[in-house]
Amino acid sequence: MTAPPGPTPREKEVAAEIRRIVREQLHARTEFGDDEELASRLDSLELLSLVVAVEDRFRILLTDEDAAQARSLSDLARIVAARAPEQVAP
Amino acid sequence: MGRALPGNYADQETLTAALRAHWAAQHFNADRLEELHRAVKVKGRHLALPLAAYPPLDTFKKSNDAWIRVAEELGAEAVMRALDDAGLRPADVDQLVFVTVTGLATPSIDAKLVNRLGLRRDVKRLPIFGLGCVAGAAGLARLSDLMSSSPGGVGVLLSVELCSLTLQRDDLSVANAVASGIFGDGAAAVVLAGGSREVKASPRPRVVATRAAFYPDTEWVMGWDFRDTGFQVVLSAEVPRITRENIAGDVDGFLASHGLGRGDVRHWIAHTGGPRVLEAFQSALALPDGALRRSWTSLEEVGNLSSASVLFVLGDLLDSGEPRPGDLGLVVAMGPGFCAEMVLLRW
């Protein structure tokens, strides 16, 4: 039995950027854990704010299906990294 | 009570469409603006001016000049309705408290109303700027304090909020997108008569007690950033959480100091902060379904009118004829500080 693969460097980079967005644009005062459920910390309006900021930052569109799959910050980072594999200048 | 709404009404779709071009200029996905505007559960709003009159308001002076003009008109209408409702005349007014957070005037709007409505030369005026959404409840509480030394007197609280005239169209933050979807314009006035004063309107509640609750080190949660073009909204997504964490303790403490509990309150008159704030009130206070229905309806019909909102909800309750002698009602609002204000009423 093998452990699931860890995050790629790109996913780690995206996760760090999403953390910055949460901290600076949503003014969250405490850090998120990688696997902490986003919906347990953010209400629907906050989640929408996060989605807007992520779409702007990475120039991607997130669908309702993406949102349903992005239960945690690392899930979201994985979806965004797959959609926006290249570095996008802020 | 008297309420006044400007004649210019726009439904939410029309308002969203008007702002979409600005949003699309900056944001990658303009459809999100519509999503944000739908999420706040507002169907439409009354505006100080017709929609077409807003684009030319590109300086603070232009917006604020419009604010002064409309605030005086709408304020006069609300005060006259409130006095008529109480069977009183402008000359009966001893105290006039004016609250707003959406525009500036010196002499203040209350002074203009002395001239316009023919209030007495010795009327005591108190304009209050800056309390924001909490000022409907706070104004009622402060006026009640003032009236306690004037048992035969008549006091009027007037709230005028023209939120649409503060909108910064080039602020493309999500906070501003939410604010542009939720805040509307309106004015409300409440007459408080001293205990020994007879008024026509009845049955009307008495103010039993008031309570303020300040939350230290939460200045960043809500307010204005002042910029050359006017007032830029500060609205943290943490408002519902702070509400949820504090409101039950504050309400319980206030009620307990009068030998009461939540179950004794029959009418909840809550500020229509927004869906998340109302849900936070509902869940934190474990209120029965429907306890906040008038706040929800008001939010849906006219949006969040800042300080005037809780007074609109109070007016709707008074109009309903539902309260019975002996009923208790609790007015609750929250606003910049961050803070809460409560007013306990008994019919």
pLDDT at A27: 66
Please name which of B37, B41, B9 lies closest in space to residue B292, comparing C-alpha atoms. Answer: B41
Q: How do the domains of chain B map onto residue ranges?
A: 2-193, 206-346
d(CA B344, CA B20): 42
Confidence band of A86 (pLDDT split at 50, 70, 90): low
Residues of chain B with pLDDT below 70 are 200-202
In the CATH hierarchy, which fold is given to the domain comprising B2-193? Peroxisomal Thiolase; Chain A, domain 1 (3.40.47)
- Give the model confidence (pLDDT) of B48-69 as tens digits: 999 999 999 999 999 999 999 9
pLDDT at B211: 98
Residues in A closer than 8 angstroms to B29, CB to CB, are: 52, 55-56, 61
Please provide the CATH number assigned to the domain covering A9-83: 1.10.1200.10
Query: Does residue A89 carry a pLDDT above 80?
Result: no
Are B318 and B204 spatial neighbours (Cβ–Cβ below 8 Å)? yes
Chain A residue with CA closest to B33: the answer is A52
Using DSSP's 3-state secondary structure scheme, residue B341 falls into strand
Confidence band of A3 (pLDDT split at 50, 70, 90): low
ipTM exceeds 0.90, yes or no: no
Common-topology check for domains B2-193 and B206-346:
yes
Longest CA pairwise span in chain A (Å): 41
pLDDT at A29: 65
Confidence band of A68 (pLDDT split at 50, 70, 90): confident
Query: Does residue A69 carry a pLDDT above 90?
Result: no
Instruction: Using CB atoms, pick whichever of B35, B236, B240 lies closest to residue A48.
Output: B35
Task: Specify the DSSP class assigned to residue A30.
Answer: S
Buried b (16+ CB within 10 A) or exposed e, A5-21: eeeeebbeebbebbbeb
Active-site annotation holds for B163: no
Query: Does residue A70 carry a pLDDT above 90?
Result: no
pLDDT at B241: 84
- Given an 8 Å threshold on Cβ–Cβ distance, is A52 in contact with B27? yes
Are B137 and B343 spatial neighbours (Cβ–Cβ below 8 Å)? yes
pLDDT at B193: 92
pLDDT at B36: 83
Inter-helix orientation angle B31-39/A44-58, to 10°: 170
- Give the model confidence (pLDDT) of A14-61 as tens digits: 999 998 888 887 766 677 787 888 888 776 667 878 888 899 899 999
User: What CATH superfamily classification does B206-346 receive?
Assistant: Thiolase/Chalcone synthase (3.40.47.10)
Confidence band of A1 (pLDDT split at 50, 70, 90): low
Among A49, A51, A55, A58, the residue to mutate for chain B (most B Cβ within 10 A):
A49
pLDDT at B9: 96
Instruction: Transcribe B42-97 into DSSP letters.
Output: --EEEESS-GGGSTT--SHHHHHHHHHHHHHHHHHHHHHHHHHHHT--GGG--EEE
The Cβ-side half-sphere exposure at B152, using a 13 Å CA radius, reads 0
Confidence band of A88 (pLDDT split at 50, 70, 90): low
- Given an 8 Å threshold on Cβ–Cβ distance, is B237 in contact with A29? no
